[in-house]
A and B are shown apart, each in its own frame.
Chain A
Amino acid sequence: GEDVEQSLFLSVREGDSSVINCTYTDSSSTYLYWYKQEPGAGLQLLTYIFSNMDMKQDQRLTVLLNKKDKHLSLRIADTQTGDSAIYFCAESLSGGYNKLIFGAGTRLAVHP
């Protein structure tokens, strides 16, 4: 079935790199997304990667995609306290109505 899995919690020291991992099940996914949710707010699109790419870099963010293992990761370089949030991985499914399947979210805590 359709499922996206993420670890629930990650704690890092300010200035270090954070790596948030995600696995998905549908090999026909066309796009994979990372969303950020700050406390009391909605989900904000951070970045996305097309399924025929291996890597995408956008300033401090690096997305790596291993299609063979259906594994997606988000690396945040030089993590700051403002990066503390919940990060959701989502896969889009081909066909139908632009359906996105979301993971349960990884809570990133950044400490001094």
Chain B
Amino acid sequence: NAGVTQTPKFRVLKTGQSMTLLCAQDMNHEYMYWYRQDPGMGLRLIHYSVGEGTTAKGEVPDGYNVSRLKKQNFLLGLESAAPSQTSVYFCASSSAGGGYTFGSGTRLTVV
């Protein structure tokens, strides 16, 4: 039982490049979330999804897009990476009303 798996674990991008971060969960959770973690700022919600085919904006959505084509997967896209998007990205999933299960994170550096 893997829980929440994120790929890749590390990535370096040049400014303007695009990439997709993949999150997969095997717990049949309805809800999935993407956060970014920056020093001294805790976790900030980027986008979330309450079910297959649905997505919604969180607190810091600009510069990111998401898709939830399958219940178990939640993709985070950066269309044109900027240095301000250098961060550690965490995916999480939950059932309705339950605590979150987090992935191990993707460390992204934009140069």
Contact = CB atoms under 8 A, between A and B. Distances in A.
Nearest to B98: A98
Interface string A32-43: 010100001111
Nearest to B103: A42
B41 A104 contact: yes
B43 interface: yes
Given A42-B104, A42-B105, A103 B42 contact: yes
A48 B99 contact: yes
Nearest to B107: A40
Given A30-B97, A41-B105, A97 B31 contact: yes
Q: Which of A30, A33, A40 has the most CB of B within 10 A?
A: A40
Interface residues of A, number: 22
A44 B92 CA distance: 11
B70 to A, nearest CB: 19
A10 interface: no
B111 interface: no
A5 B103 CA distance: 24
A35 B92 CA distance: 13
